[in-house]
Amino acid sequence: MTPADLSRCVVRAVRRAVEDGELPAETVVPERVVVERTRPGGVGDYATPVAFQVAKGVGCPPRGVADVLARLLGEVPGIERADVTGAGFLNFTLGPRSVVGLVRDIRERGTRYGYADGAVETEPFCWERAAGLRQRAVHEAAVRLLRSQGEGYGGPWPGVAPVAKRDGDVVARYGPDAVRWAALTVPARETPHFDDRLLVQGETSELFRVRYAHARSRALLRNAAGLGFDPEAGDVPGAHGLVQTLADYPLVLEAAAHHRAPERLARHLVEVADALLDFQHCVLPKGDEKPSAAHRARLALAEAAGTVLAGGLALLGMDAPERL
């Protein structure tokens, strides 16, 4: 059970509840449900406020809707528990995710990992919506995210705070990628800050860490090839943090598209990068150690993390260098 699977399961549970008469016949079944990581102090792994959305349309108490859905979802394989908290929040505890399945899924889908089945291919950007550098950066990234989830770019757009300085001056000083990153890492209504920290090529720079982590994943593959072994999906004990960030990636894409909030994706890429940089030191054999199944499995996980970083940067409009 992946987070994206969970979202689809919730939609099916609403539909089943309507068909079985447990929810009113006039209930509108949502096409998509936003599921997010449980906040600190919450219950379980993931949560959704879908019961409020469903209840509002039919005049039912959200708690009653949530109780119906929790009972149905508690029967779904892969969901260990479905709890209701507060006035009607659904909370889920999932069974452990197979590292092998996760890595194979990422390797099979490549940089399109996390895309919906109905992902929309390229089409012209709607330039009249975005006059300045910041507006263009936010709208382009939001369009890419929406397309990745099979949606067009109609509907309401967030107001975007402009860049305080002239666009050309900012790009000339800091470079297009650094400016784009700064523009996309704060909510659209907040004004981004451009200063000399954007010129730093070191661990204090989030963009540098993301791109460096991708370059490290590719360097690990090159070095492993030189030692005569290739990546192969397998269990990787002790890598829970990295595995969790990769498993959450499809959910992050869905939420970033739904809220038209590229900063959610940017923040998550930093988490993936930091987890990979902490993990990288155990990937290759040390000293006289011979390559083993454990090394191949760790290499496959590092490769998968690099693929996610490359895909996320592409959605934000930036490249992922092989060497840095």
pLDDT in tens, 24-58: 999 999 888 888 888 777 788 899 999 999 998 88
Lowest mean pLDDT, pick from 61-65, 200-204, 210-214, 219-223: 200-204
For residue 279, what are its two tokens? Answer: 């993990």
Contact 312, 115 (CB under 8 A): no
Coil, helix or strand at residue 102: helix
Task: Considering only CA atoms, give the Rg of the chain.
Answer: 21
The whole-number pLDDT of residue 199 equals 86
Nearest partner of 304 among 101, 100, 106, judged by Cα: 106
Round to whole Å and give the CA distance between 70 and 312. 33
Give per-residue pLDDT as tens, 167-178. 778 888 898 899
pLDDT, tens digit (0-9, with 9 covering 90-100), for 87-145: 999 999 987 778 999 999 999 999 999 998 767 665 555 544 445 788 888 888 998 99
Q: Is the pLDDT of residue 284 over 90?
A: yes
| DSSP-assigned letter for residue 169 | H
**Separation in Å, CA 188 to CA 137, 158, 263:** 10, 7, 8
Rounded Cα distance between 246 and 283, Å, is 17
Quote the pLDDT of residue 127.
44
| Amino acid sitting at position 322 | E
Q: Is the pTM of this model over 0.85?
A: no
pLDDT computed for residue 38 by the predictor: 86
Nearest to 34 by CA among 261, 293, 302: 261
Q: What is the mean pLDDT of residues 218-231?
A: 97
Q: Which of 144, 138, 125 is nearest to 183 (CA)?
A: 138
Average pLDDT for 67-93 = 93
pLDDT of residue 4: 72
pLDDT per position as a tens digit, 84-93: 999 999 999 9
pLDDT band at 259 (very low <50, low <70, confident <90, very high): confident
Assigned token pair, 154: 């109609």
End-to-end CA distance of the chain: 36
pLDDT higher than threshold 50 for residue 162 = yes
Res. 165: pLDDT tops 70: no
Residue 240 has pLDDT above 60, yes or no: yes
In this predicted structure, the answer to whether residue 242 has a pLDDT above a threshold of 50 is: yes
